[in-house]
Structure 1
Amino acid sequence: MQDCPSGATSLLLCEEAEPGVALLTLNRPEARNALSLALIRELHGQIDRLGADPAVAAIILAAKGKVFSSGHDLKELTAHRSDADDGLAFFRETMQACSAMMQSIVRCPKPVIAAVDGRATAAGCQLVAACDLAIASEQSDFATPGVNIGLFCSTPMVALSRNVSRKRAMEMLLLGEALSAAEASHYGLVNRVVPSSDVMLQARAMARKIVSKSKATVAIGKEAFYRQAEMTLADAYAFASEVMVKNMMIADAGEGICAFLEKRAPDWKDC
């Protein structure tokens, strides 16, 4: 794995959690890990870089402090209301950059696991929803409370509504109330709820299982999952059938099937 840029003043820490697993840590605890434009851009850049790194098989996204992320940096946004255009250009730049960053997580060929130990609200909740998998501590909670301050969580709505049912999503968006970790698990927003001390252990264990798979197969499967989810039933089956054919033609599929039939461990070539 390539070295990650690091430093005590970095908005986003990057390290190798263990072989094949990159750990990204939001590092603005004094600002409740609010997603400033600079942090959004740094996170987008790291996701793209790690996605292209052949040594990386999985990415864990965590945060320092008691808040996973409070969402957009409202102080930064408010400061730009004094701009000549009342902040219009900066607001648009921030929202577009954030939307692009969230999509980079979905497009990343490596699975991204959110390790949440604290509150995740608004765009912070969106960040959890954008990740492929999520582990949450028992004291974590989740909310899209924008409606309470006159700013409907429209962009968080996109990721949220693709994780939970419409009625559940609308309840969160219209009421702006926090969900407990247990409720978030029941709704389908997170995969598992564990004690705080076990969040990173569980995330790393999940990542370790992904590392043991063929990177090529995982990349094919992740891309196909998100593409078929937006299709009609017939189109999804037609698309998925072609993906299966494509998958069957790669070396790792042949190796994996032979290993299964011969009752041995596969020797992945990641191609």
Structure 2
Amino acid sequence: MVRELMAALERAESDAAVRVVVLTGAGEKVFCAGGDLGTMAGDEGFLATHEGRRAYGRLLVRFQELRKPTVARVNGHALAGGLGLVLACDLAVAVDTADLGTPEIDVGLFPMMMMALLQRHLGRKRALELVLTGDRLPAREALTLGLLNRVVPAAELDGAVSTLAGKLAGKSQAVLALGRRAFFTAEDLPLPAALEYLSSQLSLNVLADDAGEGISAFLEKRPPKWHDR
């Protein structure tokens, strides 16, 4: 699955017609429940199995490096590595019947890689509670903790995702790409370094054609016509 998702992201990146990437599960009850426990023994050998696990980490990073915004359409439970995929997306809309969690501890494992994303979304105590207990969070509780952006009944999921994706698709893709990169870069910098970096990115931003178009459109009281540059 990791290879297929990575390939799909590469196709989306190179396709100018794709303005927003939406990630969802194939069924109705589960978004993604993580890796196949049956393969954990590593029948392919230790090194090959280790590289396969590292590929999941590279996939999470690739979501962040993508030049296009991403939305998780959480159509069911998102557990273990599946929760990592939700957190890797910029925004997430879930059905109200979904549970989110890291149940690995209950089978003698620990959510090692996706924990790096969980730490960036939650405070220390709450993140530790999730990974140490394996408890599941109902979607509405996950919403209050900031793990989700919207929670809706199943019948409203497609509409909510389409509305959110439509808003993103209507923005300047060049400025979205610049802004996303700046957001993720500044996130891990000390405050003085972050402000210095962000001031340089603002200087780049104001030079963009779409910045000029956006300001002109605002002053002329008309919708902007983005050129995505």
Structure-2-length-normalised TM-score: 0.96
Residue 187 (str. 1) matches residue 187 (str. 2): no
Deviation at 1:76, TM superposition (A): 2.4
| Residue aligning to 1:72 | 35
Q: Secondary structure at the match of 1:162?
A: helix
* Structure-2 separation of matches of 1:110 and 1:163: 20
* Structure-1 separation of matches of 2:126 and 2:48: 32
| Residue aligning to 2:4 | 42
* Structure-1 separation of matches of 2:122 and 2:75: 20
Unaligned stretches of 5+ residues in structure 1: 1-38
* Structure-2 separation of matches of 1:130 and 1:73: 20
Residue 234 (str. 1) matches residue 196 (str. 2): no
| Residue aligning to 1:35 | none
Instruction: Select 2:24's aligned residue among 48, 52, 62.
Output: 62
Deviation at 1:203, TM superposition (A): 1.0
Unaligned stretches of 5+ residues in structure 2: none
Residue 256 (str. 1) matches residue 228 (str. 2): no
What is the RMSD of the two structures over their aligned residues, measured on CA atoms? Answer: 1.1
| Residue aligning to 1:7 | none
* Structure-2 separation of matches of 1:52 and 1:243: 24
| Residue aligning to 1:129 | 87
* More helix by percentage: 2
Q: Secondary structure at the match of 1:100?
A: helix
| Alignment deviations for residues 10-51 of structure 1 (CA, whole Å, 9 cap, x no partner) | xxxxxxxxxxxxxxxxxxxxxxxxxxxxx1011011112212
Q: Secondary structure at the match of 1:68?
A: strand
* Structure-2 separation of matches of 1:154 and 1:268: 41
Instruction: Select 1:111's aligned residue among 40, 52, 69.
Output: 69
- The structure showing larger relative contact order (alpha-carbon pairs under 8 Å, at least 6 residues apart) is 2
Task: Please list, as runs of the form range in 1=range in 2, the aligned pairs for 1:140-155 lying within 5 A after superposition.
Answer: 140-155=98-113
Structure-1-length-normalised TM-score: 0.82
